[in-house]
Amino acid sequence: MSKSKIKKSVVFPIIMLAYLAVMAWIGRDNLAQGNYLRYFGIIGISLIIILLLYLSLRKKEQLQQRREEEQYGTYEEEDEDEKEEKEEKEDTK
C-alpha cells in the first residue's frame, strides 16, 4: 500500500483558491462601486482556470502512475505470481 501523501493536483488548486479568496476580499471595493460584472467575471474566470489546473495535474499524475505500473508492475501482480508459484509447488507434490 502506498504512503498517504497529498498530491500536487490537490495542493496547488487549494493554494490558488485561498489566493482567489484573498483577492476577492481585497477587490470587494469593485463590488461596492457597482462593478458586479467585472468582480464576478474575474472570480468566475479564475475558478475555471483553477478547475482546468486541477484536471490537468490529475491527468498528469494518472499518466505517471500508469507509466510506473507498466515499468515496475504492481503489488497485486506480485501477489498473483506468488499464488501461482505455491499452486505449482502443491501440484508437483
Report the predicted TM-score, pTM, of the whole model to 2 decimal places: 0.68
Q: Where are the domains of the chain?
A: 8-92
pLDDT: which is higher, 1 or 60: 60
Instruction: Name the one residue in this structure whose C-alpha cell is 505500473.
Output: 69
| Spatial distance between the Cα atoms of 5 and 88, rounded to a whole number of angstroms | 38
Q: What is the tens place of the pLDDT at every residue in 36-82?
A: 999 999 999 999 999 999 999 999 999 988 888 888 876 776 667 77
| For residue 3, pLDDT beyond 70 | no
Please give the distance of CA 15 from its chain centroid, rounded to a whole number: 13
